[in-house]
Amino acid sequence: MILPNQKHLFSLPEGITYLNIAAQSPSMKAVEKAGIDGVLEKSHPYKIVGNSYFEPVKEVKKLFAELIDVDDYNRIANIPSASYGLATVANNITLQKDDEIMLVESQFPSNYYVWEKLATKYDAKLTIVSMPKSTKNRGKNWNEAILNSISDKTAVVALGNIHWANGTLFDLKSIRKKTTENNALLIIDGSQSIGAVPFSVKEIQPDALVCAGYKWLFGPYGCGYAYFGKYFDNGIPLEENWSNRLHSENMTGLTAYQPKYKPLANRYSVGEHASFIHIKMQIKALKQVLIWTPKAIQNYCKEITADAVLKLKELGCFIEDDNYRTHHLFGVELPKELNIDELKSKLKAAKIFVSFRGNYIRLSCHLYNTKEDFEKLMNCIAACL
């Protein structure tokens, strides 16, 4: 059964066709209200008590742990951004000279610079697996190239569940198997997939997973989540936040300095992660995503995009095969004869919002979108040909 359209939960104006949640999600009305409640709470600080710094944080961790199929919420850290989580991961990895860190072509900058820096630090090698130039079986061939690039020299494989710009789906189960065989770490950036694509830590067993919270998880800009596996159980955090120490709930004994951290990933949470505005918004957002379920979201997006995908292909656009891409986010390679500037003008006039990536447009949709949204987009593209 396909979920009904959920636009009534958002404040998106009529006439706006928003196909760019991969850049920034719109807030749900309930999340917006939660944020306002948090702002008003600061006007009455005497209502902020000791438990306010801890209990809501536990709830957020438990909700995210449920979403990614993790039993122990102590393996979840509150982070302000994916780059913070990746920096924490890299800070706790030691390499040998000539070890290899494997990435895929054109990763998001935050998931490139951190590995370039780590490779330079240890005189290791950065290996980039290029996207096949031919569009024939591209997703399949790209995944095969990734697997073939993992060897006994590989120390780290870092990539997204999908490619952030074109939605190519990477075979994480096979990649995990190959990294395990070669004693390599698997670090996943789930910023463009978690919340919209089913994902199980128990199934994939990544060493770490980082995720921005302001896209498919509908949180405010400046929040995120990270899962840390056993490799990082005794690592060093980027900062020494007081609330990450054992027994920090005892506010009267804070200067009885505690040498131990709270268990597992708690040590990696950013300072002031109990942000009373953010945390209320995150709780509301995660609860709603769990009610919808990523599987149902993916099915809905497939349903509303299927006809448009077929017609766009008929117009000469390239879209990756369904078996090697997601439906909530995918790239459309435009015909070479199409005038990009003309298309941008038509989309602007029609109030259609997408992301341009060279000769591609990246489309990203959710439960507030409809088939009609994609028909409007398709008509604009057809008018430029």
Give the tens place of pLDDT for each residue, 251-284.
Answer: 888 899 999 999 999 999 999 999 999 999 999 9
Query: Is 89 among the domain residues?
Result: yes
Query: Poorest-confidence range of 41-50, 150-159, 183-192?
Result: 41-50
Q: How far apart are alpha carbons 165 and 159 in whole angstroms?
A: 13
SS3 (DSSP) at 125: strand
Residue 43 token pair: 């006007």
Mean pLDDT, residues 327-345: 95
Residue 119 has, within 13 A of its CA and on its CB side, a CA count of 21
Residue 355 token pair: 């992301």
Write the pLDDT tens digit of every residue in 70-99: 999 999 999 999 999 999 999 999 999 999
Query: Is 17 among the domain residues?
Result: yes
Q: Supply the CATH number for residue 313's domain.
A: 3.90.1150.10
Q: What is the pLDDT of residue 5?
A: 98
**Same domain flag for 166 and 180:** yes
Query: Is 299 among the domain residues?
Result: yes
Amino acid of residue 176: R
Query: Is 339 among the domain residues?
Result: yes
Please give the radius of gyration of the chain, using alpha carbons only, rounded to the nearest integer: 22
156 pairs with which residues across the strands? 101, 185
End-to-end CA distance of the chain: 37
Query: Is 132 among the domain residues?
Result: yes
**Same domain flag for 93 and 224:** yes
Helices marked H in the chain = 29-42, 55-67, 82-91, 110-122, 138-149, 172-181, 201-204, 276-292, 294-314, 340-349, 371-383
Q: Cβ distance 161 to 182 under 8 Å?
A: no
Q: Could you say which of 291, 323, 349 is where a domain stops?
A: 291
Query: Is 186 among the domain residues?
Result: yes
Q: Supply the CATH number for residue 277's domain.
A: 3.40.640.10
Q: Cβ distance 363 to 330 under 8 Å?
A: yes
Residue 1 pLDDT grade (very low, low, confident, very high; cuts 50, 70, 90): confident
What are the backbone angles phi and psi of residue 189, rounded to the nearest 5°?
A: -100, 110
Instruction: Say if residue 210 is exposed, middle or buried (CB neighbours under 10 Å; 0-12, 13-18, 19+).
Output: buried
Query: Is 173 among the domain residues?
Result: yes
SS3 (DSSP) at 91: helix
Write the pLDDT tens digit of every residue in 171-198: 999 999 999 999 999 999 999 999 999 9
Query: Is 67 among the domain residues?
Result: yes
Q: Is the pLDDT of residue 219 over 90?
A: yes
| Residue of 71, 90, 55, 82 lying closest to 264 (CA atoms) | 71
Tell me the pLDDT of the chain averaged across its residues.
96
**Same domain flag for 180 and 281:** yes
**Same domain flag for 156 and 231:** yes
Residues 6+ apart with CB under 8 A from 325: 139, 162, 166, 167, 168, 169, 319
Domain that holds residue 349: 7-27+293-383
Q: Cβ distance 158 to 178 under 8 Å?
A: no
Q: Could you say which of 243, 271, 291 is where a domain stops?
A: 291
For residues 318-355, b (16+ Cβ closer than 10 Å) or e, as one string?
Answer: bbbeeebbbbbbbbbbbeeebeeeebeebbeebebbbb
SS3 (DSSP) at 218: coil
| Residue of 12, 111, 22, 113 lying closest to 356 (CA atoms) | 22
**Same domain flag for 332 and 200:** no
SS3 (DSSP) at 26: coil
Q: How far apart are alpha carbons 377 and 19 in whole angstroms?
A: 9
**Same domain flag for 252 and 317:** no
Q: Is the pLDDT of residue 358 over 90?
A: no
**Same domain flag for 218 and 303:** no
Q: Could you say which of 272, 291, 310 is where a domain stops?
A: 291
Write the pLDDT tens digit of every residue in 138-152: 999 999 999 999 999
**Same domain flag for 181 and 330:** no
Number of domains in the chain: 2
